[in-house]
Amino acid sequence: MTGATPENEIGPIRQSEAGSALRVISYGGGVQSTALLALAAKGVIDFPTFLFSNVGEDSENPGTLRYIRDIASPFAQQHGISLEITEKIRRDGQVDTLWRRLHRPDTRSIPIPVRMANGAPGRRNCTADFKIKVISKWLKAHGATADEPATVGIGISVDEIHRANRRRAEPNQRVTYPLLDLGLRREDCIRLIKEVGLPTPPKSSCFFCPFHTVDEWRKQRETEPELFSKSEELERFINSRRAALGRDDVYLTRYGIPLGAAIQSSPRGDHGDGNCDSGWCMT
């Protein structure tokens, strides 16, 4: 799924997109970054390229992948915006995915922020490995350097301003937050999306992300039971590997019990205390 020029051909990089003039949006497929797509289509912001780093057809929220394929990509093409799909490529040329990484026989560390028994999240490398570095590699291939960095817009709205952190960029990137500059909140983003005739996208994230709220887990269990079962399977698999290494169990929620039991017994309206604060996910 790659955005195209109006002539349905991938053209050469325009001069305005080279080196320090390269301006892209880190597109997550959610509400905030789709609002940026709407603003770009309306000519309010100057970002001709949107980059979606796909962490895997087996890892991303399937609803997000459908939205990008069926709605966002055609809309971008219609408005002369290039929506590029990037993936993590291994040294052997094979596509890597987060789901495969979690199931690799030689994996000893867990790249997603699983919860310890006390509810605290573990280390998180998934965003850096499957989002930030993948986009950085694309930018490097298109002329961005430390001396002439690309401008990368990230979809964080005013109500999530705590997630904005301009220090979390690769050397060839200069991060900016167009929604903050325009003073837009999430409800403004939804309004903008509707104004250009698009449906509101689902929340973007990996379907097994430990930063899901309880209500999000409950909705997955009720409406997408096959994904919930895969999330349970992942939690069991991780703990089987940890047991073989003599390590304690970890969990996908902060309750210190297996996912199925946690979602069955947790109170409704419990929104949890975790959030991906990088801005590269869930936008």
Q: Are residues 247 and 128 in the same domain?
A: no
CA distance 197 to 212: 28
Q: Are residues 219 and 83 in the same domain?
A: no
Q: Please return the burial class of 137, using the count of CB atoms within 10 Å of its CB with bins 0-12, 13-18 and 19+.
A: middle
Q: Please return the burial class of 230, using the count of CB atoms within 10 Å of its CB with bins 0-12, 13-18 and 19+.
A: middle
Residue 3 in any domain: the answer is no
DSSP assignment string, 141-178:
HTT--SSSPEEEEE---GGGGGG--TTSS-TTEEEE-H
The pTM of the full predicted model, rounded to 2 decimals, is: 0.85
Structure tokens given for 187: 């409800």
Q: Are residues 231 and 197 in the same domain?
A: no
Q: Are residues 27 and 59 in the same domain?
A: yes
Q: Are residues 261 and 181 in the same domain?
A: no
How many independent structural domains does the chain possess?
Answer: 2
Q: Are residues 150 and 234 in the same domain?
A: no
CATH of the domain at 99: 3.40.50.620
CA distance 161 to 143: 30
Q: Are residues 131 and 172 in the same domain?
A: yes
Q: Are residues 34 and 70 in the same domain?
A: yes
Q: Are residues 224 and 264 in the same domain?
A: yes
Task: State how beta strands 95-96 and 150-154 pair.
Answer: unpaired
Residue 279 in any domain: the answer is no
Residue range of the domain that includes 195: 15-113+123-204
Q: Are residues 28 and 71 in the same domain?
A: yes
Residue 8 in any domain: the answer is no
pLDDT in tens, 189-212: 999 999 999 999 999 999 999 999
Residue 1 in any domain: the answer is no
- Profile the chain (283 residues) by mean pLDDT over runs of 10 residues: 33 38 95 98 97 97 97 98 96 93 86 90 88 95 95 95 74 94 97 98 94 94 96 96 92 95 69 53 67
